[in-house]
A and B are shown apart, each in its own frame.
Chain A
Amino acid sequence: MDKLKKMTSYRLFWPIVCLALVLLFNLIKSPSFFEISIKNGVLYGYLVDIFNRSSELIILAVGMTLCVASSAGTDISVGAIMALSGAVSVYLLGSGETYAIPWIAAILIGLVVSVLCGMWNGFLVANMKIQPMVATLILFTAGRGMAQLITGGNNLYVKVDSFKYLGGFLPHIPVPTPILVAIIVVILATLFLNKTATKLYIESVGINPRASRLFGLNSTKIIFITYAACGLCAGIAGMIATSRITSIDANNVGNLMELDAILAVALGGNSLAGGKFSVAGSVIGAITIQALSTTLYAMKVTGDQLPLYKAIVVIIIVTLQSPEFKKYLNRIKAKRAAKTAGEKVA
């Protein structure tokens, strides 16, 4: 019993249970769910598909976790930043038979744009002390418009084959590239956070910025950096998303991804009120969301009806995770225990 208690109090217990439930449901429905095969030299199967499609979300969720933890606010501009940085890269690469400028240069410039966007958000939140949601609402509103300005309102296509690598497969490597990128981002973030004191700094700023300031931490700078990092993550996700469709569609790239990213953070057991956080939790949250979508698609739910079922599951999950609900359950349990104890005495 004690062991069970210890297990349920473990931070990632509930997020993992949620993911396991979704996967278990699939296993019962279609036993072939966990099969992974190699077709045409690449990995193939439901699980690979889930991981592959959740890559962008995982990357976004990593950045979002940091923002939420440091500033108790959400960055709702990540979807727009994805579109903007993607538009910049595709515009620079041009739609000729060869790249107009080297691939790596275009990607780097796109990422620089995304970091600049993140820094702008960070400046507003950290230095100007504007509520994060309002501050990022500015880029949320303008970002896609700016992307449209760059593309001239058209969908631009890149015709060079190697542009597909980032969103598809590298030659001779069976694992989809987005998965590799996501893994690299998560590992780098974890190493950076845990091997240095950064995680501790971010958490303490998130719990109490003023106290951290008095303690000698530069709260403003830390919040600023988390937003810049979030921008970078959005940029990376944007690169993958544009490479997947080898074009930029400024209206639809990363559309509503910011909401999924925030959801991933919350499903991962992180409080949206800031403070303590777990990147691993957010990653699990992101995979859960994608697993859920894939499951529903497999059950022949159409894309536009999908949100309905997603909403029901989300509400159930957050209700189960809510402290008030747990308190209520505990109260019932205590009552029952008191009753049985009373009966025993009698």
Chain B
Amino acid sequence: MAMVEKIKNKLRGNGFLLAVTIVLFFVLYIAGAILYGDRNFTSPQVFLNLFISNAGLIIAAVGMTFVLITGGIDISIGSVIGVVCMMLAWMMEVKHMSAVVAIILVLVFGVIFGLVQGFLVAYLKIQPFIVTLGGMFFARGLTALISSDMISIENPTFLSLANYRIYFGFITYYNNRGVAMHPYIYLSVVIALLVVAISFVILRYTKFGRAVFAVGGNEQSALLMGLNPKVTKLKVYVLNGFLASLAGFAFCLNSCGGFVEQARGFEMDAIAAAVIGGTLLTGGVGTVVGSLFGSLIKGIIETIITFQGTLSSWWTRIVIALLLCFFVILQSVFKSIREKRLAQGNEK
């Protein structure tokens, strides 16, 4: 009985939204399996490809979730991913640096980028939208300044990292020609899942995670509780800068090159993933797991549209917009129900 009560409590409100997201993901997956099961949609590799092609998005969406929970926003991450890819390519191919040094340098760049943005947001109290808009322009311009041509990465260390496959030896499936295959993932997926797991623990079980929620819920109260909202916000933007550059690294493992227009509009995908995953832009509410599933939902829609074959790629965006619409209306309905319940409670 207590168990039922517990589940009921969890499902109330935001837990319910998360559950809807997860259920939706599986519904879409099953729909795809029924429609295109004859074309290997159900093969484990197609499922893992969802993670492979969206590893960067998952990492970026996790960083975005932190920022959104504090009530801020970061629209610079698409450009940061672009500049990180370009910097990696430039450092390794033009400056012939070693892959390890290049990777460390871009991660440091991400942290510094986040630090500056965080300082402007937290200490100078400039609206996050404007600060990160500046960041977005800055990073994109910097990408063009480094090189206006595409640079492909041919560094052997980096390529071996990018092509390093981790096979699941214990799963065997048969492809179209009946050959036995083991499904595999790339390094980027491992990074993405680690980021999700670590962020989950940070948000849930650490002092910092609690502070993030408190600041996002009500900054004034957080201050009165003895928290330092400025420091918390700064830390969140630094973390986000780091995760954005890490997402850029994961992105680069897939694309193996840098060009000016890379990952344009990526920030909106990350925001959409977070919103579909149940994060509120007003702050105070959000889960990392939701953002993971939000990213995967985008992936599954893309996969279904690819399998369908005749629909153009912009259908993906229309379907995502419809889903977004569905989720924001659902959130809004839930909010009003909760407010009504609160009001009734107060009257009693």
Chain A complexes with chain B: yes
- Chain A interface (Cβ < 8 Å from any Cβ of B): 74, 124, 128-131, 133-135, 137-142, 144-146, 148-149, 153, 259, 262-263, 266, 272-273, 302, 304-312, 314-315, 318-319, 322-325
Q: Is there contact, CB below 8 Å, between B130 and A318? A: yes
**A272 to B73 CA separation, bound complex (whole angstroms):** 13
Q: Is there contact, CB below 8 Å, between A129 and B271? A: no
With contacts A128-B329, A133-B73, A314-B134 known, is A306 near B141, CB below 8 A? Answer: yes
Q: What residues of chain A lie closer than 8 Å to B260, measured between beta carbons? A: 304
Q: Is there contact, CB below 8 Å, between A142 and B141? A: no
**A318 to B144 CA separation, bound complex (whole angstroms):** 24
What is the CB-to-nearest-CB distance from B276 to chain A, in angstroms, rounded to a whole number? 10
**A304 to B148 CA separation, bound complex (whole angstroms):** 8
Q: Is there contact, CB below 8 Å, between A307 and B324? A: no
Q: Is there contact, CB below 8 Å, between B125 and A310? A: no
B138 interface hit (Cβ, 8 Å): yes
Q: Is there contact, CB below 8 Å, between A322 and B125? A: yes
Q: Is there contact, CB below 8 Å, between A145 and B328? A: no
B314 interface hit (Cβ, 8 Å): yes
Query: Which B274-291 residues sit within 8 Å CB-CB of chain A?
Result: 275, 280-282
Q: What residues of chain B lie closer than 8 Å to A149, measured between beta carbons? A: 314, 318
Q: Is there contact, CB below 8 Å, between B141 and A304? A: yes
Q: Is there contact, CB below 8 Å, between A124 and B328? A: yes
Q: Is there contact, CB below 8 Å, between A134 and B141? A: no
Nearest opposing residue in chain A for B275, CB measure: A134
Q: Is there contact, CB below 8 Å, between A304 and B129? A: no
What is the CB-to-nearest-CB distance from A345 to chain B, in angstroms, rounded to a whole number? 35
B124 interface hit (Cβ, 8 Å): yes
B137 interface hit (Cβ, 8 Å): yes
Q: Which of B102-110, B246-254, B330-338 contacts A (4 or more CB under 8 A)?
A: B330-338
What is the CB-to-nearest-CB distance from B244 to chain A, in angstroms, rounded to a whole number? 16
8 more CB-based (< 8 A) A-B contacts, given A307-B140, A310-B137: A128-B329, A133-B73, A133-B281, A140-B268, A259-B75, A273-B127, A304-B141, A323-B125
**A210 to B341 CA separation, bound complex (whole angstroms):** 19
What is the CB-to-nearest-CB distance from B341 to chain A, in angstroms, rounded to a whole number? 16
Q: What residues of chain B lie closer than 8 Å to A140, measured between beta carbons? A: 268
Q: Is there contact, CB below 8 Å, between A305 and B272? A: no
With contacts A304-B148, A315-B120 known, is A129 near B133, CB below 8 A? Answer: no
B94 interface hit (Cβ, 8 Å): no
**A284 to B171 CA separation, bound complex (whole angstroms):** 64
Q: Is there contact, CB below 8 Å, between B148 and A134? A: no
Most buried by A among B75, B315, B318, B329: B318
Q: Is there contact, CB below 8 Å, between A308 and B321? A: no
**A297 to B41 CA separation, bound complex (whole angstroms):** 50
Which of B123, B124, B133, B144 meets A259, CB within 8 Å?
Answer: B133
Q: Is there contact, CB below 8 Å, between B127 and A272? A: yes
Q: Is there contact, CB below 8 Å, between B137 and A318? A: no
Q: What residues of chain A lie closer than 8 Å to B314, measured between beta carbons? A: 144-145, 148-149, 153
The number of chain B residues with a CB under 8 A from chain A is 48
**A124 to B328 CA separation, bound complex (whole angstroms):** 9
A and B contact pairs by CB, cutoff 8 A, 26 listed: A74-B129, A124-B328, A130-B328, A130-B331, A133-B73, A137-B268, A142-B317, A144-B314, A145-B314, A149-B318, A153-B314, A259-B133, A304-B144, A307-B136, A307-B140, A308-B138, A308-B144, A309-B141, A310-B141, A311-B137, A311-B138, A319-B120, A319-B124, A324-B124, A324-B125, A325-B124
**A323 to B308 CA separation, bound complex (whole angstroms):** 54
Shortest beta-carbon contacts, A-B, top 10: A308-B141, A142-B321, A311-B138, A307-B137, A304-B144, A311-B137, A307-B141, A145-B314, A141-B321, A145-B318
What is the CB-to-nearest-CB distance from A277 to chain B, in angstroms, rounded to a whole number? 15
Q: What residues of chain A lie closer than 8 Å to B162, measured between beta carbons? A: none
With contacts A314-B137, A319-B124 known, is A141 near B320, CB below 8 A? Answer: yes
With contacts A129-B336, A319-B120 known, is A266 near B130, CB below 8 A? Answer: yes
Q: What residues of chain A lie closer than 8 Å to B2, measured between beta carbons? A: none
**A197 to B11 CA separation, bound complex (whole angstroms):** 46
Nearest opposing residue in chain A for B316, CB measure: A145
Q: What residues of chain B lie closer than 8 Å to A142, measured between beta carbons? A: 317-318, 320-322
**A314 to B140 CA separation, bound complex (whole angstroms):** 14
Q: Is there contact, CB below 8 Å, between B124 and A137? A: no
What is the CB-to-nearest-CB distance from A117 to chain B, in angstroms, rounded to a whole number? 12
What is the CB-to-nearest-CB distance from B219 to chain A, in angstroms, rounded to a whole number? 13
Q: What residues of chain B lie closer than 8 Å to A144, measured between beta carbons? A: 314, 317
Q: Is there contact, CB below 8 Å, between A131 and B124? A: no
B101 interface hit (Cβ, 8 Å): no
What is the CB-to-nearest-CB distance from B297 to chain A, in angstroms, rounded to a whole number? 13
Most buried by B among A130, A133, A146, A273: A130
B142 interface hit (Cβ, 8 Å): yes
Q: Is there contact, CB below 8 Å, between B281 and A305? A: no
B325 interface hit (Cβ, 8 Å): yes
Q: What residues of chain A lie closer than 8 Å to B268, measured between beta carbons? A: 137, 140-141
What is the CB-to-nearest-CB distance from B123 to chain A, in angstroms, rounded to a whole number? 7
**A146 to B314 CA separation, bound complex (whole angstroms):** 8
Q: Is there contact, CB below 8 Å, between B126 and A319? A: yes
**A71 to B133 CA separation, bound complex (whole angstroms):** 20
Q: What residues of chain B lie closer than 8 Å to A310, measured between beta carbons? A: 137, 141
What is the CB-to-nearest-CB distance from B327 to chain A, in angstroms, rounded to a whole number? 9
Q: What residues of chain A lie closer than 8 Å to B126, measured between beta carbons? A: 318-319, 322
Q: What residues of chain A lie closer than 8 Å to B137, measured between beta carbons? A: 307-308, 310-311, 314
Most buried by B among A146, A304, A306, A323: A304
B52 interface hit (Cβ, 8 Å): no
Q: Is there contact, CB below 8 Å, between B312 and A153? A: yes
B62 interface hit (Cβ, 8 Å): no
Nearest opposing residue in chain B for A303, CB measure: B144
Which of A146, A323, A325 meets B318, CB within 8 Å?
Answer: A146
Which of A124, A129, A145, A262 meets B129, CB within 8 Å?
Answer: A262
Q: What residues of chain A lie closer than 8 Å to B135, measured between beta carbons? A: 311
With contacts A137-B268, A137-B324, A142-B318 known, is A129 near B332, CB below 8 A? Answer: yes
Which of A129, A137, A263 meets B275, CB within 8 Å?
Answer: A137
**A153 to B315 CA separation, bound complex (whole angstroms):** 11
Q: Is there contact, CB below 8 Å, between A137 and B318? A: no
B145 interface hit (Cβ, 8 Å): yes
B131 interface hit (Cβ, 8 Å): yes
